[in-house]
Structure 1
Amino acid sequence: MSVRKRFFPDSIAGPNQAWVADYVDAAGRRHRKQFKLKKDAEAYEKRASTEVADGTHIAPSDSITIEEAGDLWIKAKQRAGREQATIAQYRQHLDLHINPAIGHVKLPALTPVVLSKFEDELHDAGRSAAMIKKVMVSLGSILANAQKRGHAVRNVVRDMRGLGNGADARAEKRAKGKLRVGVDIPSPDEVKAFLGHLRGRWRPLMLVAVFGGLRASELRGLVWDDVDLVKGGVYVRQRADRYNAIGRPKTETSERYVSLPALVVNALREWRLVCPRKDTGKKGDAGQPAKVLQLVFPNGQGKVESLANIINRGLCPAMVRAGVTVDTGEVDAEGKPVLAAKYTGMHALRHFNASWLINSTKAGGLGLSPKEVQERLGHSSIVITMNTYSHLFERLDDGSEMSAAAAALLG
């Protein structure tokens, strides 16, 4: 292995030169790579010789681009059985963010400098911090898959996670702040008013959301076979993605049993009598209709209800009727202020459910422990539960408790 100077003629500007890193890989093949500066050639030759000795070197001519690695990654995720919605999201990260900027870059050329510049470009293009984080996670997963296939030696994204990103994560968390009742979480009075203005098919759905804490996807995928009207609860065993495809719950711990109060169970009993049914047209044994898993909260044809309909026809109108609104700053034709629903996402009801589980019984809640709250919500880890809701758990009066403890210690 060596670094040498190479001269080549230029009829216009006179003789030019370049520095060439010359080495032989583990298979005995000779490789040359040109650099403008001697120090760059020496650095590359040193790194290449170390990698050859370790058996990890991949020559630039043998490597693939980030775009090619991304396509292999998508195919691997499809073979692993990832949901259509997840694959579509990965493809968006590639087509809209990664490939236009660095898709042409070969894997060995993806250095920390190139990666930092890519992040800066995403920020300058107006991408949100959350989106940039998702794109970088996808890029890290692409490189990890490329490593397994022998196309990449290192994962620059994951290498850089330990370089000051902890402080960035803490700063992001501080900026986001804690969930607040009346801002992010509906207050008990707001929920009471909201439930009092629900109509028709939306009432049982919202009752299960408020008192069961199910995710919107879990509500949309819930079937009557998983509803126990005798025991008084539901089994969460599947969910519906944004393409209305039924699949497994979000995580292993998302599969759970959730008990419900009598108010909700009675509403489900009444709803079952008029709930739309899906007819496949197929016949089972003895000419009877074939058994079909009937959805609990379907659309009018008995099929999966869209999330947009649930929000725009169920959640928001009931919020407005209940007076749980915010001023949009606009006025109607009569000069009256235009009001909009204060909470426009189903996850707000899940947040309320968490607060209801956490609040003490004297405050109208259940007073459950953090572990019980985690299990009811189906969080994959108690860390998620505590990071999100720890500030809602009741704390004893530190002053009086400490005084009593000191008095007991001193006799």
Structure 2
Amino acid sequence: MSAAETDLGRGDWADPEVGMVPLGEYAATWIEERPELAVRTVELYRGLLRLHIEPYIGHVMLAQLTPARVRTWRKELLDAGASSSTMAKAYRLLKAVMNTAHLDDELVKANPCRIRGAGKEDAPERPIATIGQALTAADEIKPRYRLMVFLATFASLRFAEMIGLQRGDFDLVKGVVHVRRQAIQTNGGKILVTDPKSEAGKRRVTVPPFVV
């Protein structure tokens, strides 16, 4: 009995022709078919695919992408100067793409991304400004941006949330700011106004009296 017949009898057989799709082509479609992704996330994924996946293994067929080839790709990328943070992001994207190819589309028998800890990202902790430094920044920045420094410091608003604020979002009687949207600038310079990242992002934020 052949190996194919054995696999067929166990229910493990997969048509090798089904997975003969270039990884780069499949990954590009994978990104396009996820409208729920945030604009910045789509840009990140496209950049990772274009710079760190496509040039190295984009031509490899899904069915021919083995754990050994994934390990080689990771080493090649690190040797080329990719940071550990970039490498982790690229690996997580590849693993997610191959997970869909395996579990949803059934194009491959198993996910070849099996490097333990490869997707873990240990970003250094960012320094936090003191109140004094924030007040100094508010004094030195252009007057039109002064309120943004206060809202970031004392209301914990994100940059995109502050850019998305409109006059009707401010209740100066109650000292409340309504966060209803965010404005994001794409890599191409276009401004997109969207909902916050989650429903929890739509909220009322109380600000100190001196900010009012």
> Is 1:69–1:143's contact at 8 Å kept on the other side of the alignment?
no
Mark the CA change 1:70 to 1:169 in structure 2 (over 3 Å): closer, same or farther. Answer: closer
In structure 1, how many angstroms separate the alpha carbons of the residues matched to 2:40 and 2:99? Answer: 22
Which residue in the other structure is 1:190 paired with? 133
**Which secondary structure state, in structure 2, belongs to the residue aligned with residue 245 of structure 1?**
strand
Which structure exhibits the higher relative contact order, with contacts defined as CA atoms closer than 8 Å and separated by 6 or more residues? 2
**Equivalent position of 1:60 in the other structure:** 16
256 and 154 in structure 1: CA distance in 2 versus 1, 3 angstrom threshold: farther
Q: Look up the match of 1:125.
A: 80
Structure 2 distance, partners of 1:230, 1:58, is 67
Matched, 1:149 2:105: yes
Residue type at the aligned position of 2:60: V
- Map Cα deviations across residues 248-306 of structure 1 (whole Å, 9 max, x no partner): 212343232211011111xxxxxxxxxxxxxxxxxxxxxxxxxxxxxxxxxxxxxxxxx
CA contact (8 A) 1:60 1:106 kept: no
Runs of 4+ in structure 1 deviating by more than 6 angstroms, as ranges, are none
Q: How does 1:265-304 map to 2 (within 5 A)?
A: 265=212
Unaligned 5+ runs, structure 2: none
- TM-score (normalised: structure 2): 0.84
| Gap change, CA 1:60 and 1:235, over 3 Å in 2 | same
- 8 Å CA contact 1:211–1:260 kept in 2: the answer is yes
Structure 2 equivalent of residue 341 of structure 1: none
CA-atom RMSD, angstroms? 2.4
**In the alignment, what sits opposite 1:247?**
194
CA 251–155 in structure 1, closer or farther in 2 if over 3 Å, else same:
farther
Map residues 349-368 of structure 1 onto 2, 5 A cutoff: none
Which secondary structure state, in structure 1, belongs to the residue aligned with residue 185 of structure 2?
Answer: coil
In structure 2, C-alpha distance between the alignment counterparts of 1:95 and 1:221, rounded to whole Å: 30
Partner Cα distance (2:88, 2:201) in 1? 24
The 3-state SS of whatever aligns with 2:143 is coil
Give me the whole-angstrom Cα distance separating, in 2, the residues matched to 1:199 and 1:94. 39
Q: Secondary structure at the match of 1:235?
A: strand
Q: In terms of Rg, which structure is larger? A: 1
Q: Distance in 1 between matches of 2:169 and 2:12?
A: 52
Q: Does 1:112 align with 2:55?
A: no
Q: Which runs of 5+ in 1 are unaligned?
A: 3-21, 25-48, 266-411
Aligned-partner SS, 2:91: helix
1:75 and 2:32 correspond: yes
- What is aligned with 1:205? 148
Aligned amino acid, residue 105 of structure 2? R
SS state at 2:178 partner: strand
Q: 1:54 deviation in Å?
A: 4.8
| Identity percentage of aligned residues | 30
- Indicate the residue corresponding to 1:89 in structure 2: 44
1 CA distance for matches of 2:12 and 2:50? 30
Contact 2:38 2:197 in 1 (8 A): no
Are 1:264 and 2:201 counterparts?
no
What is the aligned partner in structure 2 of residue 23 from structure 1? Answer: 4
Deviations 1:39-61 (A, max 9, x none): xxxxxxxxxx44x3454533332
What residue in structure 2 maps to residue 140 of structure 1?
A: 95
Q: 2:64 aligned with 1:102, yes or no?
A: no
Name the amino acid aligned to 1:92. G
Given residue 194 of structure 1, which amino acid in structure 2 is its aligned partner? A
Distance 1:55 1:186 in 2: 59
- 1:288-367 equivalent positions in 2, closer than 5 A: none
